[in-house]
Amino acid sequence: MKTIVCSFSRLTKQPLFWLALLLTLVAISILVNLGMWQLDRASHKHQLQVELENNQQKPLQSLGSIEFVGNLNGTVALANLKPIAGYYLLLDNQTYNGEVGYLALQLMRSSDSKYFLFEMGFSNGLAARTDLPVIEWLSRQYVGEVRLYRRSANPLSDQLMIEETQPRRIQNLNLEQLTSYWQLPLESYVLQPLVANWRYPQPWQPIPMGAEKHTGYAVQWFAMALALAVIGVIWLRRAMISSTKESL
């Protein structure tokens, strides 16, 4: 026991020991915090999944009768919509089945005079950045079922970044900034038509990354923290053995 204490005492007098210990503890702390953050995200995504399933099971109601309070993602409603000519958008950098392109959206007005973005669907991008796809926009009234959804915010960039093209190309679907740009009171949900054999593909990812994936990532971070702690203990043990041999 006395030999171990002496060896440890000699190690603590070396600056490199404290540097290695500090770096190890900081790294373990970061890994544990990342794991805890992923668990928190998993809990949040699970709650969103439950709300989504509850919304999808609600009885069909008219769009005008819905109270826009709380999370309505996945709610299906019966809508009567009139297209507003000239208000067209192409959301850039979208992917569908491995293809890169745009999500086409147009402005619609409901029977109770509310303004909604209406999703036409996905269109492949063209070879030249300056060329935009030709979209068959709705020109007639749409009466039918729609699904309400909100797109997840991009944590790295949420600015609209609208370009003066025809139709307007945007980088993020920032409805608040779009309301200011168009000077029209947009509702906070996008409407996706629920029609068999719709003219464009309709990507539907209400929850881009499920709770299971976040939990899996959390396990990985915790496992890395544990592995680093084990490596640290092994390194400390070997350093003490080496220090003991040098003292003999």
Structure confidence by residue, pLDDT tens digits, 64-82: 999 888 888 889 999 999 9
Of all helices (H) and strands (E), which one includes residue 167? Answer: none
Quote the pLDDT of residue 170. Answer: 96
Helix (H, G, I), strand (E, B) or coil at 227: helix
> Are the CB atoms for 81 and 116 separated by under 8 Å?
yes
Quote the pLDDT of residue 206. Answer: 67
> Are the CB atoms for 64 and 58 separated by under 8 Å?
no
Question: What's the rounded Cα separation, in Å, for the pair 122 and 105?
Answer: 9
> Are the CB atoms for 156 and 133 separated by under 8 Å?
no
Q: Which two tokens stand for residue 202?
A: 């309709």
| Parallel/antiparallel/unpaired status of strands 115-124 and 61-62 | unpaired
Query: Tens digits of per-residue pLDDT, 173-196?
Result: 999 999 999 999 999 999 999 999
Q: Which position has the token pair 């490199």? A: 16
Q: Which residues of the chain have pLDDT under 50?
A: none
- Alpha helices by DSSP H, listed for the chain, are 2-12, 15-56, 175-182, 211-247
230: Cα separation from own chain's centroid: 34
The alpha-carbon radius of gyration of the chain (Å, integer) is 28
In this structure, what are the phi and psi dihedrals at residue 145, rounded to the nearest 5 degrees? -80, 145
Question: What's the rounded Cα separation, in Å, for the pair 34 and 225?
Answer: 10
187: Cα separation from own chain's centroid: 21
Q: Is the peptide bond before 155 cis (omega within 30 degrees of 0)?
A: no
Question: What's the rounded Cα separation, in Å, for the pair 232 and 248?
Answer: 25
Quote the pLDDT of residue 212. Answer: 82
In percent, the amount of the chain with pLDDT more than 70 equals 86
> Are the CB atoms for 62 and 77 separated by under 8 Å?
yes
Please give the model's pTM, rounded to 2 decimal places: 0.72
Measured from the Cβ of residue 39, the count of other Cβ atoms closer than 10 Å reads 18
50: Cα separation from own chain's centroid: 17
